[in-house]
Amino acid sequence: MAKISEAAANQTISLDAIEVVEKGDTREFSRFGKLGKVCTCKIKDDSGEMDLTLWNDEVDTVAEGDKLKLSDGWCKEWNGRMQASTGKNGKLEKL
């Protein structure tokens, strides 16, 4: 497992024991005729912090203060900040 400080854009990432320190507002969207929702959280570990994007069902299962494990997620840079998500093949679970 990597640390947040080791995150690099356009690579897969796995993070263990990350804490959700702030959960932003949920936004709804429509794409290809399907409704969805998205939310951006701030997460941290002992090496730093970054953003975590939650999609659809993930939005309702994660709360501030939760400890999470992200396996095989995707990392990118957005507006000058590193941002992780489950991407296509990742898995997010509560610890």
Residue ranges of domains in the chain, CATH in brackets: 4-94 (2.40.50.140)
Burial class of residue 15, CB neighbours in 10 A (0-12, 13-18, 19+): buried
Model pTM score: 0.92
Place of tokens 């320190």: 21
| C-alpha–C-alpha distance, residues 93 and 10, integer Å | 22
Q: What is the pLDDT of residues 69-91, one digit of tens each?
A: 999 999 999 889 999 999 999 99
The tens digit of pLDDT for each residue in 19-54 reads 999 999 999 999 899 999 999 999 999 999 999 999
